[in-house]
Amino acid sequence: MAVPFADAFGRRVKYLRLSVTDRCDLRCRYCMSETMEFLPSKQLLSFEELDRIAGCFIACGVETIRVTGGEPLVRKEIVRLFRGLSRHLSSGGLRELTLTTNGTQLARHAEDLHALGVRRVNVSMDSLDPEKYATITRGGSLARVLEGIEAARRAGLAVKLNAVALKGFTETEIDDLIGFAHRGGMTLTLIETMPLGEIGSDRTDQFLPLTALRRQIEQRWTLVDLVERTGGPARYARVVETGGKIGFITPMTHNFCGDCNRVRVTASGVLHACLGQENAVDLRRILRGGGEDADLIDAIGSAVSGKPRGHDFQIGPGGRPSLRRHMSATGG
């Protein structure tokens, strides 16, 4: 095994979020503009290139790979990538292979994912009201997502629900979301909207701080903070009345970077050591320029060593984003 990747603050990188596409079959209002320009397919990494990058990370101590997008399950023949990566589960090189999805394509892939070693998935679902869901996603079908969740659970996949907190929406949804998640044995994680990419509207009109939402939750439910972590940025609390858990991801109101062990590789091969900073390394150039695995590992190691202490997210005047790139391009 090569030397484990570590940054200047002693944080070892054990978690890779690997994007396979910037495309999505939804247009969520907090994530994208209604009309998006996506990358030409020739600029996307092939499955073989994605697999090679993953192998370099695993060789240097990465234990968890989360496949992301865009919406990863819209990429044609995506099961091929999971089939290739699953060998690292069999060998013990990889502890966990998972993904984040909007759930619209999950029903047709759930059994294959489980067969290839995936044991849990995160499903993004911001509303249980079909009309509100369609409004937030600009035309998405809640019924398809619910079908995907049920198919995942039947296949043996643990499901965690992710919901972005949106002012004017989530306040009236939160009790139903908690009840739905916990009746199904699912954790619900709430996420503050992040200032990534132009979306055609003012993010200050959307932003709902989780400090305020938690106060509302506690008017009905009893929360007990937990010390457990799952390798991500969420802080968890147990709901006494249901026995279920709620996670809080607070990039705006409470910086969660102190023990960050994650990096992201975009579908075009750009390595971002920090979601909230512009620092980047082009791994595709090395791949397609004839570089060896040692060259990739050197470039990754250099990027990780320069990983900043944390992000400095803020929404600018008029709702302008901190960074121009969209979350769908970066990988969720």
Which of the listed ranges 207-211, 221-225, 311-315 does the model predict with the highest average pLDDT?
Answer: 221-225
DSSP code at position 318: G
Mention every residue, 6+ apart, whose C-beta is less than 8 A from residue 128: 142, 173, 176, 177, 180
The residue ranking higher by pLDDT, 279 or 77, is 77
Mean of pLDDT values over 83-101: 97
Work out the pLDDT band at 35, boundaries 50, 70, 90.
Answer: confident
Contact 286, 255 (CB under 8 A): no
pLDDT at residue 315 tops 80: no
Lowest mean pLDDT among 122-126, 296-300, 328-332: 328-332
Q: Give Rg (Cα) of the chain.
A: 19
Encoded tokens for 183: 């009746």
Count, residues in the chain: 332
Domains of the chain, with CATH numbers?
15-330 (3.20.20.70)
> pTM for this one?
0.88
Here the contacts of 30-36 (C-beta below 8 Å, separation 24 or greater) are: 30/136, 30/164, 30/166, 30/193, 30/199, 30/203, 30/206, 31/197, 31/199, 31/326, 31/327, 31/328, 32/197, 32/199, 32/326, 32/328, 33/197, 33/198, 33/199, 33/200, 34/138, 34/200, 36/326, 36/328
The residue ranking higher by pLDDT, 157 or 308, is 157
Work out the pLDDT band at 4, boundaries 50, 70, 90.
Answer: confident
Establish how many alpha carbons lie within 13 A of residue 44's alpha carbon, considering only the half-sphere containing its beta carbon.
Answer: 21
